[in-house]
Amino acid sequence: MAHLEASRRGGHLWIFFTQPLPAAQARTWLLPWCPVGIEFYPKQDQSTGYGSLIRLPLGVHRLTGKRYPWIGAFSRDGKPVKAATTVKETLTWLEQQEKVDPSHFVSRHRHFVSHLGRAYETSHTREVSQSPRNNIDNPSSPTTAHTLHEWCCQQDPFDLIGRYVELDARGVGLCPFGEHHRRGKDCHPSFKVYRPRSPGRACWHCYTWGKGGNVFNFLCYYYGLDAAMMWQRIQAGGVV
């Protein structure tokens, strides 16, 4: 159900549904399983325009002029094997691949996540189970905070953000918002977490991107949610 397509800087892992699905629903189901550092699309629950754009399957990359192949398997030495060599063969192969039926997703999600994790592991990325986003089976308890500021004051920025970003002893790490960096990722650690001057205030900053904020701002950027929806998820105990 998860299909890997090669790309200029690695690969795209696609999930095809049997019918159109609202972006918000797809994000609710799949985003928590996405490993840290991997870009997830769609990036918004909803948009008044086109939203964030991505090259479609079989599309020709504008920089390289290439059409990247789908990966059908991996050899014993870990090298990818093309699923097909021509566009016609690729379309035939894609037509035969299993798609996700949204009505069956809940009952089958454990099998799906296992398949998704194996695909990432085989392509030499971190296993899905290692991601701090993957706490659906062990969600946090609903917050007892009555206000957003009260919740922010209760959080230790090094503990919370450290679940999403690998920080050194100084609180410095690679920025998880790679889309705001050249080449799509932070190559030199430019992300820093620090103690806020007063509880609940600004506690992180990316010196390359030029953005920063408190723990709540971080989660909004990380999950691509607006403040209202992020607060709803925190209150339900399903995010951190």
Report yes or no on 142 lying in a domain: no
* Residue 144 CB contacts under 8 Å (≥ 6 apart), including other chains: none
Report yes or no on 138 lying in a domain: no
* Predicted pLDDT of residue 99: 84
Report which DSSP code applies to 189: -
Same domain, 90 and 153: no
pLDDT bin (cut points 50, 70, 90) of residue 81 is confident
Q: Are 184 and 55 spatial neighbours (Cβ–Cβ below 8 Å)? A: no
- What is the extent of the structural domain holding 156? 148-236
* Predicted pLDDT of residue 133: 40
Beta strand 10-15 pairing with 80-82: unpaired
In this model, does residue 139 exceed pLDDT 70? Answer: no
Same domain, 48 and 92: yes
Which sign, positive or negative, has the C-alpha torsion 26, 112, 17, 63? Answer: positive
Token pair listed for 51 = 């939203």
Mean pLDDT across 4-10: 81
Same domain, 7 and 126: yes
Most confident of 14-18, 54-58, 153-157, 181-185: 153-157
* % of the chain at pLDDT higher than 70: 80
In this model, does residue 158 exceed pLDDT 50? Answer: yes
Final residue in a domain of this structure, among 103, 130, 157? 130
Single-letter amino acid, residue 168: D
CA 153 to chain CA centroid, Å, is 27
- Strands across the sheet with 70-74, in order? 10-15, 2-7, 70-74, 80-82
- Global model pTM greater than 0.75: no
